[in-house]
């Protein structure tokens, strides 16, 4: 656009006002973000001329005009910036300067009064008046329908996620920490509820500059330029973010506004739940936009007017727990958000000591009481949200509504057992088998991974008429007696007897990072596979089979090199054994490229064991094998599991498969997973504590070491890291033979934004740990 001097601009505007409005007077540029001029006519009437920028459409101006007229029509006794039509009745005037610049402007009636922020303190009466006024505004605007109302802009509170990646522009780590927390609450508490919040056209920027006060009363409202369709509660959240900026007890002040608002326009529980996160997010967006603008022009004071006040308040709000904030904000509405939290944590811990066995543990140094889950998020007693990067059971997301509904509906209709006929059993078995290679066509349904592995072992032993099994070092297959016997993770671990049963033979983990052979290539895979052959040859009895996870989880998130399974299975089969793959942790599309992790190595096992994600948290598991093996197993002894394959479980299992397919979660896992792995690889390059990062799809591991040469495990640091990450709202666990591998295996619905937040926070915490060690 051709440049124009200040004087030329004023001259051009004077001409525009004269020719198109028939007015003359003195023009003064007004302070603030937008290009606005005050026009003082000789008769002492004042107007404001607002210049439109290239992004301002006539639709937007129409919405502005409609909003103001609607508030007047609804009887709001406020001074409002009414649009003055041009001589020919237009809403906008245009003028082409000599230099070729098109000036577009609209003339508004002047609204007298002082800005809210210049008339402090406000006091309870003004807060109550604000509540009533906002409710009336929202009530009046609700009826406006305009095709351009669906617009957005960079202050759009319902799209604040767009600013999340810019957290890194803030240099101070403590401030970044606060912003990460705010955006986590926004993503976890507010965003999932957006779909359930009433929406309408809102003002969109009721800040303490746009609210005018006269003699202690609210007199007017300015600037309808940010009007847009949004969750209605955003207006209240924005106003509260600003009018409490200088309040010593901001939540008390805000509760007065909320109480008065609620009496005029009833708020829903969901609106009260999102209010505090939205207030904080508005402040966070404001400081992030300031950080962005500082890069453009650090001296433009009008851009930074509320920055330090916003930071001060963000810091203050950061110490307030979401549940306490919601309860306080709602205290004058008669509603009780977070009303069903149960017993306090200390009481619960005491009770656990009295009736729960001491061998059962609670995660983290300071255990969490989780009261709710949704998607990839869990919410604790205090309403704090956590990004769950650990729970591969709730595969399609915590409490997925489709899965919940499937269970509830079937539960309300019928639950029996497999001795009766019902469609659900065979429909589900067929659907499950359709995800597998053709040979794997027969399903046994049970209730847990342990039970499924028990059955797999029994099948192998019955069919081969042999007892001896090969198991992988560090593996875990379940908690029952025989499963402990085939789980080196347990029998070699704390409290274990320290040596295998005579029928159990341990083969090394195909670990290309820490093991005997290094690398991920097929030669390494073959070398590890041949180790299996060597061990078979040393056993003086024939083997029944080999049980292995397709990728090793408790063993330390190990991805066996290619050709490993082909080679190992060939040795096992040559010795007459069956090959069992335990997909309890890694199946159902988690690896992204394939539905089952064994498919990565182009092998077909004889028996596949499924658990955890199969029911998204409902206790079910399955053993799938070949028809011929199932025939040989049918030696006269009936197979019956009371709950296995019951109609409710089948309905739930079916819903899980449908959701995976319909939401494209396997593909999504591949995409987000490789993005995460790329980010982790970049972190490895700058943090020596990270010895190795590895994984496929959303099954990833970060191995921490003290020394990259000796691979000395950083066990204590890994423990500390998961506790640090928990304190920053991210749930992870540690595993592996040296307890130094951070395991990432989240619900498959995590987003790129979640992954990016995790990477930023991990980077922060690694940096901090390196400095403090």
In the complex with ligand PMP, which residue's Cβ is closer, 479 or 534?
479
- Output the smallest distance, CB 550 to ligand PMP, in A: 9
Residue 612 DSSP one-character state: G
Cα(397)–Cα(279) distance, rounded to whole angstroms? Answer: 27
* Single residue of 92, 247, 549, 692 touching ligand PMP by CB under 6 A: 549
In this structure, the number of other CB atoms found within 10 A of the CB of residue 544 comes to 27
- Output the smallest distance, CB 477 to ligand PMP, in A: 5
In the complex with ligand PMP, which residue's Cβ is closer, 230 or 448?
448
Closest CA to 509 of 555, 476, 478: 555
- Output the smallest distance, CB 333 to ligand PMP, in A: 44
The full length of the chain comes to: 773
Cα(12)–Cα(377) distance, rounded to whole angstroms? Answer: 56
Helical ranges in 361-506 per DSSP H: 401-413, 423-433, 449-464, 481-485, 488-491
x/- string (CB under 6 A) for ligand PMP, residues 601-640?
Answer: ----------x-----------------------------
Q: Which stretch binds ligand PMP (CB under 6 A): 23-31, 410-418, 442-450, 654-662?
A: 442-450
The yes or no reply on residue 553 touching ligand PMP (CB under 6 A) is yes
Cα(707)–Cα(689) distance, rounded to whole angstroms? Answer: 8
Q: Kindly state the tokens that stand for 664.
A: 């494209």
Q: Kindly state the tokens that stand for 515.
A: 């093991």
In the complex with ligand PMP, which residue's Cβ is closer, 372 or 458?
458
- Output the smallest distance, CB 160 to ligand PMP, in A: 38
- Output the smallest distance, CB 680 to ligand PMP, in A: 22
Cα(274)–Cα(281) distance, rounded to whole angstroms? Answer: 10
In the complex with ligand PMP, which residue's Cβ is closer, 330 or 559?
559
x/- string (CB under 6 A) for ligand PMP, residues 24-63?
Answer: ----------------------------------------
Cα(96)–Cα(12) distance, rounded to whole angstroms? Answer: 8
* Single residue of 256, 453, 616, 740 touching ligand PMP by CB under 6 A: 453
- Output the smallest distance, CB 357 to ligand PMP, in A: 16
Which residue of the chain is nearest ligand PMP when measured via CB? 449
The yes or no reply on residue 247 touching ligand PMP (CB under 6 A) is no
Q: How many residues bind ligand PMP (CB under 6 A)?
A: 15
All residues at 6 or more sequence positions from 169 whose CB lies less than 8 Å from its CB, including other chains: 288, 291, 292, 295
**What's the angle, vertex CA 458, arms to CA 452 and CA 460, rounded to 5?**
105
**What's the angle, vertex CA 157, arms to CA 175 and CA 138, rounded to 5?**
135
Binding to ligand PMP in span 649-678, by CB under 6 A? none
C-alpha pair distances (Å), 416 with each of 419, 620, 647, 652: 8, 15, 7, 14
- Output the smallest distance, CB 478 to ligand PMP, in A: 4
- Output the smallest distance, CB 481 to ligand PMP, in A: 13
Closest CA to 40 of 30, 31, 32: 30
Whether 596 contacts 587, CB under 8 Å: yes
Cα(291)–Cα(428) distance, rounded to whole angstroms? Answer: 54
Q: Kindly state the tokens that stand for 309.
A: 């006040």
In the complex with ligand PMP, which residue's Cβ is closer, 160 or 554?
554
In the complex with ligand PMP, which residue's Cβ is closer, 130 or 734?
734
- Output the smallest distance, CB 348 to ligand PMP, in A: 23
Q: What share of the chain is helix, strand, coil (3-state, %, to 5)?
A: 45, 15, 40
- Output the smallest distance, CB 451 to ligand PMP, in A: 7
- Output the smallest distance, CB 549 to ligand PMP, in A: 5
Whether 459 contacts 607, CB under 8 Å: yes
In the complex with ligand PMP, which residue's Cβ is closer, 255 or 448?
448
- Output the smallest distance, CB 231 to ligand PMP, in A: 40
Cα(500)–Cα(474) distance, rounded to whole angstroms? Answer: 12
* Single residue of 256, 290, 333, 450 touching ligand PMP by CB under 6 A: 450
Binding to ligand PMP in span 566-585, by CB under 6 A? 582, 584-585
C-alpha pair distances (Å), 363 with each of 4, 306, 369, 385: 65, 42, 10, 16
Is the C-alpha dihedral spanning 463, 469, 470, 476 positive or negative? positive
In the complex with ligand PMP, which residue's Cβ is closer, 136 or 477?
477
Which residues pair with residue 38 across a beta bridge? 28, 48
Beta strands at 211-214 and 217-221: parallel, antiparallel or unpaired = antiparallel
- Output the smallest distance, CB 315 to ligand PMP, in A: 41
Cα(580)–Cα(593) distance, rounded to whole angstroms? Answer: 21
x/- string (CB under 6 A) for ligand PMP, residues 295-324?
Answer: ------------------------------
Cα(692)–Cα(701) distance, rounded to whole angstroms? Answer: 8
In the complex with ligand PMP, which residue's Cβ is closer, 41 or 642?
642
The yes or no reply on residue 596 touching ligand PMP (CB under 6 A) is no
Binding to ligand PMP in span 412-431, by CB under 6 A? none
In the complex with ligand PMP, which residue's Cβ is closer, 257 or 471?
471
Binding to ligand PMP in span 463-492, by CB under 6 A? 476-479
* Single residue of 181, 207, 448, 625 touching ligand PMP by CB under 6 A: 448
Which residues of this chain interact with ligand PMP, rule CB under 6 A? 448-450, 453, 476-479, 549, 553-554, 582, 584-585, 611
């Amino acid at each position: 656009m051709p440049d124009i001097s200040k004087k030329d601009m004023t001259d051009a505007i004077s001409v525009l006002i004269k020719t198109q409005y028939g007015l003359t007077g003195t023009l003064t540029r007004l302070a603030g973000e937008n290009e606005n001029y005050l026009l003082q006519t000789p008769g002492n009437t004042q107007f404001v001329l607002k210049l439109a920028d290239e992004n301002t459409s006539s639709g937007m101006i129409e919405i502005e005009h409609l909003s103001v007229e609607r508030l007047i029509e609804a009887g709001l006794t406020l001074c409002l910036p009414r649009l003055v039509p041009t001589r020919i009745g237009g809403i906008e005037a245009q003028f082409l300067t000599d230099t070729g610049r098109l000036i577009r402007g609209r003339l508004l009636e002047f609204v007298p009064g002082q800005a809210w922020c210049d008339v402090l303190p406000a006091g309870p009466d003004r807060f109550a008046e604000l509540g009533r006024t906002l409710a009336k505004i929202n009530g009046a605007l609700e009826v406006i329908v305009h095709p351009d109302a669906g617009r957005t802009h960079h202050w759009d509170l319902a799209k604040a996620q767009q600013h999340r990646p810019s957290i890194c522009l803030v240099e101070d780590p403590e401030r970044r920490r606060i912003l990460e927390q705010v955006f986590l609450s926004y993503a976890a508490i507010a965003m999932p509820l957006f779909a359930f919040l009433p929406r309408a056209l809102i003002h969109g920027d009721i800040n303490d500059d746009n609210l005018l006060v006269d003699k202690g009363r609210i007199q007017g409202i300015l600037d309808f330029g940010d009007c847009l369709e949004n969750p209605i509660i955003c207006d209240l959240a924005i106003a509260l973010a600003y009018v409490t900026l200088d309040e010593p007890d901001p939540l008390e002040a805000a509760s007065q506004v909320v109480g008065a608002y609620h009496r005029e326009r009833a708020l829903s529980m969901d609106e009260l739940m999102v209010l505090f996160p939205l207030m904080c997010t508005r402040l966070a967006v404001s400081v992030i936009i300031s950080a962005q603008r500082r890069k453009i022009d650090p001296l433009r004071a009008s851009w930074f007017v509320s920055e330090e006040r916003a930071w001060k308040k963000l810091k203050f709000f950061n110490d307030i727990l979401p549940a306490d904030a919601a309860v306080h904000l709602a205290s004058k509405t008669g509603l009780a958000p977070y009303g069903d939290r149960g017993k306090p944590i200390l009481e619960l811990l005491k009770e656990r000591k009295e009736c729960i066995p001491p061998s059962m543990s609670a995660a983290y140094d300071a255990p969490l009481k989780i009261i709710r889950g949704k998607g990839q998020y869990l919410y604790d007693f205090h309403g704090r949200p956590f990004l769950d990067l650990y729970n591969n059971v709730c595969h399609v997301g915590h409490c997925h509504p489709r899965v919940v509904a499937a269970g509830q509906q079937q539960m309300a209709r019928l639950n029996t057992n497999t001795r009766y006929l019902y469609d659900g059993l065979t429909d589900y078995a067929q659907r499950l088998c359709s995800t597998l290679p053709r040979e794997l066509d027969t399903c046994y349904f049970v209730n847990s991974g342990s039970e499924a592995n028990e059955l797999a072992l029994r099948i192998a032993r019955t069919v081969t008429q042999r007892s001896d099994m090969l198991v992988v070092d560090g593996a875990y297959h379940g908690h029952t007696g025989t499963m402990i016997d085939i789980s080196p993770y347990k029998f070699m671990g704390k409290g274990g007897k320290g040596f295998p049963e005579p029928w159990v033979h341990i083969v090394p983990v195909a670990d290309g990072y820490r093991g005997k052979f290094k690398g991920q290539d097929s030669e390494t895979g073959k070398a590890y596979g041949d180790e299996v052959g060597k061990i078979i040859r040393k056993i003086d009895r024939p083997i029944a089979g080999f049980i292995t996870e397709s990728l090793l989880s408790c063993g330390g998130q190990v991805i066996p090199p290619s050709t490993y399974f082909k080679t190992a299975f060939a040795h096992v089969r040559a010795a007459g054994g069956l090959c069992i793959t335990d997909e309890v942790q890694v199946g159902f599309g988690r690896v992204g490229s394939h539905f089952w992790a064994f498919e990565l190595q182009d092998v077909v096992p004889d028996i596949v064991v499924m658990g955890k994600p199969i029911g998204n948290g409902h206790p079910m598991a399955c053993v799938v094998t070949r028809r011929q093996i199932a025939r040989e197993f049918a030696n006269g002894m009936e197979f019956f599991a009371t709950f296995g394959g019951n109609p409710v479980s089948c309905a739930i299992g079916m819903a899980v498969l449908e959701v995976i397919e319909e939401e494209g979660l396997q593909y999504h896992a591949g995409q987000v997973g490789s993005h995460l792995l790329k980010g982790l690889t970049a972190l490895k390059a700058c943090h020596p504590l990270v010895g190795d990062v590895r994984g496929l799809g959303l099954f990833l591991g970060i191995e921490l070491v003290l020394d990259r040469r000796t691979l000395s495990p950083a066990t204590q640091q890994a423990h500390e890291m998961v506790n640090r990450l928990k304190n920053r709202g991210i749930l992870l666990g540690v595993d592996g033979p040296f307890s130094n591998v951070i395991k990432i295996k989240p619900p498959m619905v995590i987003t790129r934004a979640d992954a990016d937040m995790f990477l930023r926070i991990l980077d922060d915490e690694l940096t901090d740990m390196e400095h403090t060690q």
